[in-house]
Amino acid sequence: MERVGLIDGLEPGTTSSFRVVLQEDSLVQLDDLLVTQQKLPDGSLHRTYGLVAEVYSRLEGASFLSDTARIAQDHTMPGQGMRYADVRVLRHVPELYIPPQSGAEVFKAAGELRREALYEDQMGKGVAVALDQSGMPVMVDLEFLDGTRGGHVSISGVSGVATKTSFALHLLYTLMESPQGRQALGVHAASTRALVFNVKGEDLLHFDQRSRRYSERLAANPDLAEQWRQLGIEEPGPFRSVAFYAPLSRQAGTTAMTDVSSRAGGNLRVYGWPPLDFVKQGLLRFCFADADDGRNQLSFVEQRVRVQLARWTHPSLEHPGAIVMIPPEHGCSFNLEKLVAQKRPPRQAGEGELCRTLADILDFLENQFEVNLQEWAGNTQANTVNAFLRRLQAMAPRFGHLISDKVTSLQLEGPLAPQENVVVVDIHNLHDDGQRFVVGTLLSSVFAAKERGQRFPLHFVVLDELNKYAPRQGSSPLKEVLVDIAARGRSLGVLLIGAQQSASDVEPTVVRNAAIRVVGRLDSGESTADFYRFLTPALRERAIRLLPGTMILDQPLVPSPLPIRFPFPNYATRHDELPDMSEEESQDLFTFR
Q: Out of 154-158, 438-442, 472-476, which region has the weakest mean confidence (pLDDT)? A: 472-476
The whole-angstrom separation of Cα 327 and Cα 143 is: 53
506 DSSP β-pair partners? 471
**Mean pLDDT of all residues in 231-253:** 90
| Confidence label for 401 from pLDDT (cuts 50, 70 and 90) | very high
pLDDT value of residue 138: 97
108 and 172 housed in the same domain = no
**Structural domain contains residue 229:** yes
Q: What percent of the chain clears pLDDT 70, i.e. is strictly above it?
A: 94
34 and 159 housed in the same domain = no
User: Mind giving me the DSSP string for 209-261?
Assistant: S--HHHHHHHHH-THHHHHHHHTT-SS----SSEEEEEEPPTT--SS------
| Number of Cβ within a 10 Å radius of residue 137 | 21
Q: Is the pLDDT of residue 586 over 70?
A: no
Contact 427, 440 (CB under 8 A): no
pLDDT value of residue 589: 41
pLDDT value of residue 343: 83
**Mean pLDDT of all residues in 548-565:** 94
Pick the closest to residue 502 from 239, 164, 138, 97 (CA basis): 164
**Mean pLDDT of all residues in 179-199:** 95
**Mean pLDDT of all residues in 257-280:** 84
Contact 334, 307 (CB under 8 A): yes
Query: Rounded to whole angstroms, what are the CA distances from 559 to 245, 284, 350, 422?
Result: 41, 45, 69, 33
| Number of Cβ within a 10 Å radius of residue 200 | 13
Q: Which residues, including other chains, have CB under 8 Å from residue 182's CB and lie 6 or more apart?
A: 176, 189
Largest CA distance in the chain: 107
pLDDT value of residue 291: 66
220 and 323 housed in the same domain = no
Pick the closest to residue 561 from 579, 578, 540 (CA basis): 540
| Confidence label for 259 from pLDDT (cuts 50, 70 and 90) | confident
**Structural domain contains residue 304:** yes
**Mean pLDDT of all residues in 477-484:** 95
**Structural domain contains residue 591:** no
State which residues form the domain around 238: 126-272+410-581
User: Mind giving me the DSSP string for 448-503?
Assistant: HHHHHS-SPSPEEEEES-HHHHSBSSSB-HHHHHHHHHHHHHHHHTEEEEEEES-G
The whole-angstrom separation of Cα 264 and Cα 585 is: 10
pLDDT tens-digit readout, 284-325: 999 988 766 445 678 889 999 999 999 999 999 999 999 999
417 and 521 housed in the same domain = yes
**Mean pLDDT of all residues in 99-109:** 97
Question: What total number of domains does the chain contain?
Answer: 3
The whole-angstrom separation of Cα 85 and Cα 79 is: 20
The whole-angstrom separation of Cα 403 and Cα 348 is: 20
Helix (H) or strand (E) holding 172: helix 164-176
| Confidence label for 583 from pLDDT (cuts 50, 70 and 90) | very low
pLDDT tens-digit readout, 17-53: 999 999 999 999 999 999 999 999 999 999 999 999 9
**Structural domain contains residue 41:** yes
The whole-angstrom separation of Cα 507 and Cα 510 is: 6
**Mean pLDDT of all residues in 262-284:** 86
**Structural domain contains residue 589:** no
Q: Out of 132-146, 408-422, 464-478, which region has the weakest mean confidence (pLDDT)? A: 408-422
Residue where a domain stops, chosen among 402, 434, 450: 402
436 and 483 housed in the same domain = yes
134 and 255 housed in the same domain = yes
**Mean pLDDT of all residues in 333-357:** 85
**Mean pLDDT of all residues in 201-207:** 90
451 and 534 housed in the same domain = yes
**Mean pLDDT of all residues in 550-563:** 95
The residue that leads in pLDDT, 488 or 263, is 488
Q: To the nearest whole number, what is the mean pLDDT of the chain?
A: 91
25 and 169 housed in the same domain = no
Q: Is the pLDDT of residue 474 over 80?
A: yes
Contact 54, 538 (CB under 8 A): yes
The whole-angstrom separation of Cα 513 and Cα 532 is: 14
The whole-angstrom separation of Cα 418 and Cα 293 is: 38
pLDDT value of residue 296: 63
pLDDT value of residue 12: 93
User: Mind giving me the DSSP string for 571-585?
Assistant: S-SSGGGSPP--HHH
- Read off φ and ψ for residue 589, nearest 5 degrees: -80, -25
Contact 122, 546 (CB under 8 A): no
Contact 389, 369 (CB under 8 A): yes
Residue where a domain stops, chosen among 62, 93, 117: 117
**Structural domain contains residue 504:** yes
Q: Is the pLDDT of residue 328 over 90?
A: no
| Confidence label for 331 from pLDDT (cuts 50, 70 and 90) | low
**Mean pLDDT of all residues in 55-64:** 94
| Confidence label for 592 from pLDDT (cuts 50, 70 and 90) | very low
pLDDT value of residue 174: 97
Q: Reduced to 3 DSSP states, what percent helix, strand and coil does the chain have, rounded to the nearest 5?
A: 35, 25, 40
Q: Is the pLDDT of residue 453 over 90?
A: no
498 DSSP β-pair partners? 154, 463
Pick the closest to residue 21 from 59, 72, 56, 46 (CA basis): 56
| Confidence label for 413 from pLDDT (cuts 50, 70 and 90) | confident
355 DSSP β-pair partners? 323
User: Mind giving me the DSSP string for 499-564?
Assistant: EES-GGGB-HHHHHT-SEEEE-S--TTGGGSGGGGGS-HHHHHHHTTPPTTEEEEE-SSSSS-EEE
The residue that leads in pLDDT, 192 or 581, is 192
**Structural domain contains residue 593:** no
**Structural domain contains residue 444:** yes
pLDDT tens-digit readout, 368-378: 999 989 889 88
Q: Is the pLDDT of residue 266 over 80?
A: no
Pick the closest to residue 511 from 529, 494, 499, 520 (CA basis): 499
217 and 136 housed in the same domain = yes
333 DSSP β-pair partners? none
311 and 225 housed in the same domain = no
Task: Assign residue 260 the CATH number of its domain.
Answer: 3.40.50.300
493 and 383 housed in the same domain = no
Helix (H) or strand (E) holding 154: strand 153-156
| Number of Cβ within a 10 Å radius of residue 93 | 16
Task: Tell me the chain's radius of gyration from C-alpha atoms.
Answer: 29
61 and 194 housed in the same domain = no
Residue where a domain stops, chosen among 94, 117, 140: 117
Q: Out of 156-165, 223-232, 452-461, which region has the weakest mean confidence (pLDDT)? A: 156-165
**Mean pLDDT of all residues in 84-96:** 96
Q: Out of 204-213, 327-336, 433-442, which region has the weakest mean confidence (pLDDT)? A: 327-336
| Confidence label for 261 from pLDDT (cuts 50, 70 and 90) | confident
Looking only at the bridges linking them, the beta strands covering 494-500 and 153-156 are: parallel
